[in-house]
Amino acid sequence: MPEMNLVQSINNALDLEMQRDSDVVLLGEDVGKVGGVFRCTQGLYDKFGEDRVMDTPLAETGIIIGMALYGLRPVPEIQFADFIFPAFDQIVSEAAKFRYRSGGEYTVPMVIRTPVGGGIRGGHYHSQSPESLFIHTAGLTVICPSNPYDAKGLLTSAIRSNDPVLFFEPKRVYRAVKMDVPEEQYTVPIGKAKVVREGEGVTVIAWGAMLYEALTAAEEVAKKGVDAEVIDLRTLWPLDIDTIVESVKKTGRVVIVHEAPKTCGFGAELLSLITEKAFLHLEAPPKRVTGWDTPFPYTLENEYLPLAHRITPALLETAAY
């Protein structure tokens, strides 16, 4: 079994799905000859040709939706999630609603891949985490894997889905995390979270690159007698609320970690659902450790990100309440 990083596992998933299904096509800015700005599509242009791996103009509004309505399964890449907003109307007003408006007669089998988050000193135009804007829109599936194994399996599932999927890739861990990944095809189910660290003292919920910060913080508080359970959401929507509630009922405490700003971030919705479904099991006020309600800074990136040194005191305070 080969060892892969996130870039390699994504490339492998695309390769295998393009071999399996001739309707799968790739398009985006520099995805062809260059192989994408992060090289996730490297080699696929040479293997499948310009008819299936297409470089597009710098115009995000022209990259979204069309091919999926003509029977293909496009996987468009937006170079950075920060650049997705020119296509926002096409995604939320058209792609997300086509199944509903057609009474189920038409679907939009499309996976929009895009790098998200900070950690590469990209500043405010290359570091945003806009997941909550799309989770708010009925009809969209939103995925954010944290590791190569899940990335390949979830991307495969997403490409085979008949609904539009936002596939957010945490650029901070593109090459920072390696693990054994099967060469053959496999899927990871959409809508299923994973408990990556068992514990009984406090539940920590995270996704993407922040999962590793949450795990680091969990190891730190373990030295002080706090046993943290860490959940990797993997799929943000549809949400695996059952796994979350089961954990919170066990621990009685919860801390949510995400890179996006706190106000109206996805953590707020998670807390609402936890309060509705497990209120009587809570033994401490829930906490959120998030990005700040400011534009993403360049020089103060490590002050903005909810790194382990900010998560650790939140876990200790919640456990001690």
Q: Domain map of the chain by residue range? A: 3-180, 194-320
Topology adopted by domain 194-320: Rossmann fold (3.40.50)
Count Cβ atoms below 10 Å from residue 22 Cβ, excluding itself: 11
- Cα–Cα dist 108/317, whole Å: 46
- Cα–Cα dist 29/256, whole Å: 34
| Two structure tokens written together for 85 | 């907003």
Percentages (nearest 5) of helix, strand, coil residues in the chain: 40, 20, 40
Beta strands in the chain, from DSSP E residues, in sequence order: 3-4, 24-28, 53-55, 73-77, 111-116, 141-143, 165-170, 179-180, 194-197, 202-206, 228-232, 235-237, 254-261, 287-291
Domain 3-180 shares a fold with domain 194-320: yes
Among candidate residues 230, 207, 208, the one with its CA nearest the CA of residue 217: 230
Q: How many residues does the chain have?
A: 321
Q: Mean pLDDT, to the nearest integer, of 167-172?
A: 97
* Residue 281 bears catalytic tag: no
pLDDT at 93: 93
Maximum C-alpha span of the chain = 60
Encode pLDDT of 61-82 as tens digits. 777 767 888 889 999 999 999 9
Encode pLDDT of 96-127 as tens digits. 999 999 999 989 999 999 999 998 887 889 99
CATH architecture of 3-180: 3-Layer(aba) Sandwich (3.40)
- Which position among 124, 126, 258, 281 bears the catalytic label? 126
- Cα–Cα dist 210/214, whole Å: 6
Cβ atoms of 200 and 298 within 8 Å: the answer is no
pLDDT at 240: 98
Is pLDDT above 80 for 40?
Answer: yes
CA 233 from centre of chain: 9
Encode pLDDT of 183-240 as tens digits. 999 999 999 999 999 999 999 999 999 999 999 999 999 999 999 999 999 999 999 9
Encode pLDDT of 232-264 as tens digits. 999 999 999 999 999 999 999 999 999 999 999
The fraction of the chain above a pLDDT of 90, given in percent, is 90
- Cα–Cα dist 177/186, whole Å: 20
Q: What are phi and psi of 119, to 5 degrees?
A: 105, -5
Taking each helix axis as running N to C, give the angle between helix 266-278 and helix 241-251, from 0 to 180 degrees, rounded to the nearest 10: 60
pLDDT at 63: 77
Cβ atoms of 253 and 245 within 8 Å: the answer is no
